[in-house]
Amino acid sequence: MDQEKLLPQGQTPAEIVARITTTDSLTEALKDVIYVQECTPENLDIKIKVFSELDALAAPDVILASSTSAIPSSKFTENLKGRNRCLVAHPINPPHVIPLVEIVPAPWTDQLIVQKN
């Protein structure tokens, strides 16, 4: 498969890499985002902590997604004020061969969030 066809809007790898920045500040990382993909270890306590921070710091319309393959999002979003915007967006592996993402909402995830994903 031609790797160039997989790149968004025909951009080169160098153009895409040039847009990547790093920060030690979660507040800074969440500035002006529309979507967050969490990829922490499969540990419920970690996910609860991370999603609590994301929910508190991200703008209310930002989608908060987890790549978890084993923990239902209802387990780590249950007590969040913005739990309606949380879900699992689990990439099928290997993602460069199978470009699909499994979308799994919690019982309280807004259907508009599911459709946006």
CATH 3.40.50.720 fits 25-116, yes or no: yes
**pLDDT at position 90:** 95
Ordered by start, the domain boundaries in the chain are 25-116
**pLDDT at position 116:** 83
- Considering only CA atoms, which of 102, 84, 82, 104 is closest in space to residue 92? 102
- Considering only CA atoms, which of 32, 14, 35 is closest in space to residue 101? 35
Mean pLDDT in order along the chain per 10 residues (117 residues):
58 87 96 96 98 98 96 97 98 89 96 87
